[in-house]
Amino acid sequence: MFISKSLLTCASLLVVLSAQTSAYVPNARDNGAESVEIARRATISQLAAKQTSKKTVFEACTGDDQCQQGCCGFSTGKCAGPDVAQTNGSGGCGRGSKVPNCNVATLLGFKNCIAGAKNNNLKDAAIQQSAAFVSQLDGLPFTPAKRDIDEELSLSRRTATIAQLAAKQTSKKTVFEACTGDDQCQQGCCGFSTGKCAGPDVAQTNGSGGCGRGSKAPNCNVATLLGFKNCIAGAKNNNLKDAAIQQSAAFVSQLDNLPFTPSKRYIDEEINIARREGKFAPGLLKARVAELELETRQYDELD
């Protein structure tokens, strides 16, 4: 059956919204099973979304990675459903390989691999994405590999925590406004020489004298957290896990679209604040907090 890409994209979006808006956030007495299930559904949606721009069934292909369902007919060179391809004359999946495979079919619990099939690494990102796509398309059960859950949750955790930290900076002073200390500026940088708020990286080279007005020595706290290396001569950083510095780095990360991973301590704090203030609102916030809780437990296991 031919299914248009636009229809599949809409279906994927509906599934994401449905999964997130119906999610339940467990309280402190829950055993975490609900959080795991919410995270599993969200991860499937995120993985599946990466397949929507690929080819649909019956379209010509030269490899599995070109097809939405992760199956390019070994004999036919056309995208096919990963299970039916084992029996309908497609010759299994794996066009362009030495032997056919039933990678996605195996992940989804099907047993009828074509004779001679040899599976690849089922934890491979492309195979996991394909299985997630078919799982959503056909309503089949699927649990992504832990690695993929970790990756998607790590991204979700960073995005949510960065937004929460950055929001605390919005009422502070913008660049070029007079200041007497870094904590007065949105970007966490009060020019050491100028006494004006500045971007934390450019302040090291544009005559601002670095950051840290009112301190004994300049610093490049926020610039360091964001991966910049050009600290002004004589700069001495403070505790980079300090709340104000973390918030400033989060703000600049959002402002300039720079990568930043908050300190683990702030993941825990944001979750606890949400609990105390009763901010487990319906819908997307519930799913997001559940993801954060699961990610935090995983970090605890690694510590």
**CA proximity to 254, closest of 156, 163, 186, 170:** 163
Give me the pLDDT at residue 268, please: 58
Q: How far apart are CA 91 and CA 73, in angstroms?
A: 6
Q: Is the pLDDT of residue 153 over 90?
A: no
Q: Is the pLDDT of residue 294 over 50?
A: yes
Give, as one character, the DSSP assignment of residue 184: G
Q: Is the pLDDT of residue 53 over 60?
A: yes
Read off the pLDDT band of 77 (50, 70, 90). very high
94: left (phi over 0), alpha (psi -120 to 50) or beta: left
The residue written with tokens 């004359």 in the block is 89
Q: Is the pLDDT of residue 130 over 70?
A: yes
Q: How far apart are CA 252 and CA 227, in angstroms?
A: 12
Q: How far apart are CA 94 and CA 71, in angstroms?
A: 7
**CA proximity to 299, closest of 262, 257, 246:** 262
Q: How far apart are CA 195 and CA 151, in angstroms?
A: 41
Read off the pLDDT band of 19 (50, 70, 90). very low
Who wins on pLDDT, 284 or 29? Answer: 284
Q: Is the pLDDT of residue 297 over 80?
A: no
Give me the pLDDT at residue 248, please: 95
Helix or strand run (H / E) with residue 41: helix 33-49
Q: How far apart are CA 186 and CA 222, in angstroms?
A: 11
3-class SS of residue 196: strand
Q: Is the pLDDT of residue 3 over 60?
A: no
Task: Identify any residues that bridge with 196 across adjacent strands, giving them in sequence order.
Answer: 178
**CA proximity to 245, closest of 216, 231, 273, 266:** 266
The number of angstroms, rounded, from the C-alpha of 281 to the middle of its chain's C-alpha atoms is 21
Distances (CA, A) of 201 to 124, 227, 230, 231: 38, 10, 8, 8
Give me the pLDDT at residue 123, please: 87
**CA proximity to 134, closest of 64, 78, 63:** 64
Give me the pLDDT at residue 277, please: 55
Task: Taking residues 51-77, report their average pLDDT.
Answer: 97
3-class SS of residue 257: coil
Give me the pLDDT at residue 107, please: 94
- Share of residues in the chain with pLDDT > 90 (%): 56
Residue 73: what residue type? G
Q: Is the pLDDT of residue 118 over 80?
A: yes
Give me the pLDDT at residue 34, please: 52
Who wins on pLDDT, 252 or 158? Answer: 252
Say if CB 43 and CB 153 are below 8 A apart: yes
Read off the pLDDT band of 287 (50, 70, 90). low
Tens-digit pLDDT profile for residues 203-227:
999 999 999 999 999 999 999 999 9
Q: Is the pLDDT of residue 101 over 70?
A: yes
Of 206-220, 262-276, 289-303, the poorest mean pLDDT is in 289-303
